[in-house]
Amino acid sequence: MEIIMSFVIGFLFMAAVYLMLSKSLIRIIIGTGLLSHGAHLLILTMGGLGGTAPPVVADGVSVSDYADPLPQALILTAIVISFAVTSFFLVLAYRAYQELGTDNMNLMRGTEDND
């Protein structure tokens, strides 16, 4: 399963990078969303997908059967942080639309004087 997940993650990264290279701001943000999905799945996969029980203490389940709890805790933190950053970006994009009237990154260059 880890092999397949590696390829899925690679595919997510590819799609994310492709979107981030486009000129529309909203596509760039969609790209960052895909990138964080890829990263989260990567952490999970690298921890091993072998556990047969969720990491909640229950009777009759031996210690080795639990899924690895540490990557899950890390991902939980990462999800919240990426959500915070994404929402900030989105509002920034929204404000940029309002002020500049465009979502084309190629137009958001500033002038030669600002260089």
Partner 1 sequence: MSLVFLIFLPLIAALFIPLLFKKLGRIHTGWFVLIVPVILFIYYLTLLPTTLEGGTLVSELSWIPSIDLAIVAYIDGLSLLFSLLISGIGALVVLYSIFYLDKKREQLHNFYVYLLMFMTAMLGVVQSDHLISLYLFWELTSISSFLLIGYWYTRDRSRFGALKSMMITVFGGLMMLGGFVLLSIMGNTYSIRELIAQAPELAGHDFFVWALVLILLGAFTKSAQFPFYIWLPDAMEAPTPVSAYLHSATMVKAGLYLVARFTPIFAVSGTWIWLVTGVGLFTLFWGSFFALKQKDLKGILAFSTVSQLGLIMSLLGASAMGFHVENAAETVFKYAGFAAIFHLVNHAVFKGSLFMIAGIVDHETGTRDIRKLGGLMSLMPVSFTIAMIGSFSMAGIPLFGGFLSKEMFLTAMLAITEFDLFSMDVWGLLFPVVAWIASVFTFIYSFYFVFHTFAGKHKPEELPKQAHEAPIGMLISPAILAVLVVAIFFVPNFVGKWIVNPAVAAIQPFLYDSPSDVHVHVAAWHGAITPELAMTIGIFLIGGLMFWTLRKWQRSYDAFPDKVSLNRLYDHFMYMSDGGANRFSAVYMTGFIRSYLVYMFGFFFLIVLSTLFLNEAFAFDLTDLAPIGFYEIVIALALVGGTITILAAKSRLTAIIALGAVGYSVALFFVIFRAPDLALTQLVIETISVALFLLAFYHLPKSSKKEERIGFKVGNGLIALGVGATMTLVALSAHSQKILPSISEYYKETVYSEAGGGNIVNVILVDYRGFDTLFEITVLGIAGIAIITMIKLRLTKKEGQHENK
Residue (8 or 60) nearer to partner 1, CB: 8
Give the residue from 29, 35, 12 showing the smallest Cα distance to 94. Answer: 29
Q: How far is the CB of 1 from partner 1 (least distance, A)?
A: 4
Q: How far is the CB of 53 from partner 1 (least distance, A)?
A: 6
φ, ψ at 65 (rounded to 5°) = -85, -20
Number of residues that bind partner 1 (CB under 8 A): 93
Geometric angle at alpha carbon 33, from 83 and 25, rounded to 5°: 105
Q: How far lies 49's CA from each of 3, 4, 34, 39, in Å?
A: 11, 12, 21, 15
Contact between 12 and partner 1 by CB under 8 A: the answer reads: yes
Q: How far is the CB of 60 from partner 1 (least distance, A)?
A: 14
Site for partner 1 in 14-33 (CB under 8 A): 14-24, 26-30, 33
